Chain A
Amino acid sequence: MKYIEEFQDPELARRLLDDIHATVTRPWALMEVCGGQTHTIIRHGIDQLLPDQVELIHGPGCPVCVTPLEVIDKALEIASRPDVIFCSFGDMLRVPGTGRDLFQVRSEGGDVRVVYSPLDALKIARQNPGKEVVFFGIGFETTAPPNAMTVHQARKLGIRNFSLLVSHVRVPPAIEAIMQSPSCRVQGFLAAGHVCSVMGMGEYPGLAARHRVPIVVTGFEPLDILEGVRHAVRQLERGEHTVDNAYARAVRPEGNPAAIAMLEDVFEVTDRAWRGIGVIPDSGWRLSERYREHDAEHRFSVTDITTREPAECRSGEVLQGLIKPNQCEAFGTTCTPRNPLGATMVSSEGACAAYYLYRRLDLTPVRATDPIARTAPLEASPVV
């Protein structure tokens, strides 16, 4: 248990772990949906502290990673236009499109700006009436309401030179798609806590009952993850499949009704393509008809996009939990954070980046039952 001293409350961590060890009698595979949770797990070696029978499968919950290549390429094209100020969150700067990224667009003279909040982009629009200001609206249910409010404000204040390039995604349809896949091994979910802070838990009981999987709403901190695993393992051992809230300090069952109302006003549900995965029905939002004038895709008819994914990138499989990042041949060799082939190596929440930053330094033997054991990229690492 070499990592446990790094926990905020090592004593509590130990108690939770003991409880999990005492409860588990059979192998179980749990998926943590959110990329932030994946990072916590890898950073703290939580997967290695758990009993051998509990396998954590990394889910698709990284908005940067799942933004389709086509949308990235549209962003790059819009950002290159001389009349445009393109605003984005910092995480998108180095996500590879076909051939380049936003960082390069700026070095080629594009006016790309990073904002902390979408409201900052709206402010830029107001200060630059002669320019078109476009905000890159990506993210899950946590980020969509702020973007919805910003578009609503733009309309209310009559700011017409502001538009949103929308690529929002929704978690429950992704869980549905994962459960329907014939290769699915997931037996329980640690749901993304902050998504539930906004949306509440209303969509989950149906999913849990339909697929007979426990769903535990889980936070992001190391102890939260252990608590989430403990709830999920208990349910599985008892043959239960309900929805538990292990993140009650931040999640109310009803979520944030004001945010949900705004979301439903500004956006409408649509099918959306997930990078590396493909189209998932009803898994996204687009601007509703009433807000069409603020839709960047509508405003800039970006056509002739030919996308090209690097053939060796297996991020689709990583995002679906079918392989672990270091089972990809390119991992740590032709694909590194400096020269990323896929978005999962770039994003601060990407699984490949998490493995690159933390796991390669860990030289403890990998369990024989763990699929990671089949590849041994550790020897190839430049640091060892």
Chain B
Amino acid sequence: MCLAVPGRVVEIAEENGTRMATVDFGGVVKEVCLEYLPDLQVGEYAIVHVGFALQRLDEESAKQTLELFAQLGMLQEEFGDPWEQAAEAGGAPWPFEDDESDTVADPAVVGPVDGGHVSREARQ
């Protein structure tokens, strides 16, 4: 949960007097609070943690980090279905028993995402 993921600001809007943004994390889109980086603009990148932009990041580092996180399955850990992950961790077989194993621990899993949920199929 301490993982902070770089994302790109797509849109900015005011919500209940709070500056909010739509942020794209390599395909997963989330609402993010900009109160701690109020001058962040559309198109810029920031490190986002639990829905808050915390520090600016240059585009190149942001893209590299995102690519790495995707490779390592860390976007899946961050944005996948937490109940499913907890159930798998609690009842799934030893994660490396076979190559087909579908667990959050599998470093190779991350795929196309929609609406913040990474589908099981995408991870095969």
Contacts and interface: CB of A to CB of B under 8 A. Distances in A.
A250 B35 CA distance: 18
Interface in B28-80: 30-33, 35-38, 47, 49-52, 54-55, 57-58, 61, 64-65, 67-68, 72, 77, 79
A240 interface: no
A29 interface: no
B90 A383 contact: no
A94 B82 contact: no
Contact of A149 (B35, B64, B67): B35
Interface in B77-97: 77, 79, 82-83, 85-87, 89-92, 94-97
A238 interface: no
A64 B36 contact: no
Contact of A349 (B2, B33, B58): B2
A140 B55 CA distance: 16
Contact of B57 (A156, A192, A250, A259): A250
B1 A89 contact: yes
A60 B113 CA distance: 33
Contacts of A259: 36, 54
Nearest to B16: A157
A43 B74 CA distance: 12
B3 interface: yes
A142 B51 CA distance: 11
Nearest to A35: B2
Contacts of B12: none
Given A198-B54, A249-B58, A349-B2, 17 more contacts: A8-B68, A36-B2, A90-B83, A90-B85, A93-B82, A114-B82, A116-B50, A119-B31, A142-B2, A143-B2, A143-B50, A153-B16, A194-B54, A221-B68, A250-B57, A262-B35, A348-B1
Interface of B: 1-4, 16-18, 30-33, 35-38, 47, 49-52, 54-55, 57-58, 61, 64-65, 67-68, 72, 77, 79, 82-83, 85-87, 89-92, 94-97, 104-105, 107, 116
